[in-house]
Amino acid sequence: MSARLTWPECDVIILGGGPAGAAAAITLARAGRSVVIIEKSHYEQARIGEMLPPAARPLLMGLAVWEPFLAGRHLPSPGILAVWGEDELYQTHFIFNPYGQGWHLDRQRFDTMLVQAARQAGARLYCDAQVASCLPLAGDRWQVAFTSGVAAGRGQHQLRAMFLIDATGRAAVLARWQGSKRLNADRLVGLASVLAARSRESDCPENAYDSTAGIPSADHPARGRGQQLTARSRERARLAGRGGCGDGL
């Protein structure tokens, strides 16, 4: 028999356990609200790395996760090199920033740290979850049906809450359940690659920006390898695909 959730009512349901969802859960749970996070993954897969600017420091301190963040040993970033839609190279150094350096995130480690802080604050987490429905109820409440757990023993759950937060990012799960449709403002696509590094140390500022579309690339903070994310038009991506990067983009 599949297990059923024994806590059918809560104040807030958060769809998505990434940085935005976890930060919301930390704040709400510490304010005394009962919070449930529904996350589709189990935080086991590597995620595209990103960079945190120095200004993120007071935000992390406000969430009381500064020390756990430092314990994650994310690589420091002294600055950014950018090419934004033209050939001229722009440099942004953090040496004069009042908050110090930036950081290259190990997203798997970063996301796990935040959601663990949310659980310690009292939020309840369901991983490997798949939402079946999000329905508005009378009395300004929401009902969410979902499954969670491994395939062999997935539990079926129904939760009711006063508030529902959609932190699913581009997937926009709640908005789509309510009938919203995505509007494409451009024809850009993202290409990601994992690169082997010759050494673990580098003297140059870390982030580079793609000159063809003006969209940032990001190095992966894991030691011994790099990761690049580039945005290009669909037409340029198709041409790149013919050279071995994959077709049909």
Distance of CA 195 to the CA centre of its chain: 21
Q: Residue 93 has which token pair? A: 């150094």
pLDDT score of 116: 97
Nearest-5° Cα angle at 155, 153 to 160 = 170
Q: Among residues 61, 148, 75, 62, which one has the least CA distance to residue 107?
A: 75
CA distance 231 to 237: 9
CA distance 133 to 145: 5
Contact 65, 128 (CB under 8 A): no
How many angstroms separate the Cα of 237 from the Cα of each of 171, 207, 211, 233, 249? 22, 21, 14, 6, 7
Q: Summarize pLDDT for 149-203 with one digit per residue, the tens.
A: 765 567 889 999 999 999 999 888 888 888 888 888 877 777 777 777 665 555 4
**Residue 46 DSSP code:** -
CA distance 139 to 155: 27
| Domains of the chain: residue spans and CATH | 9-49+111-177 (3.50.50.60), 77-103+183-245 (no CATH)
The string of DSSP codes covering 167-233 is --GGG-HHHHHTT------S-EEEEEEEEE-S-S---S-SB-B-TTT--B-----STTEEEEEEEEE
77 pLDDT more than 50: yes
pLDDT score of 45: 81
pLDDT score of 38: 96
**Residue 47 DSSP code:** -
For the whole prediction, is pTM greater than 0.85? Answer: no
- Reported confidence tier of residue 44, pLDDT bands at 50, 70, 90: confident
Identify any residues that bridge with 126 across adjacent strands, giving them in sequence order: 38
Q: Are strands 75-77 and 102-104 parallel, antiparallel or unpaired?
A: antiparallel
**Residue 107 DSSP code:** H
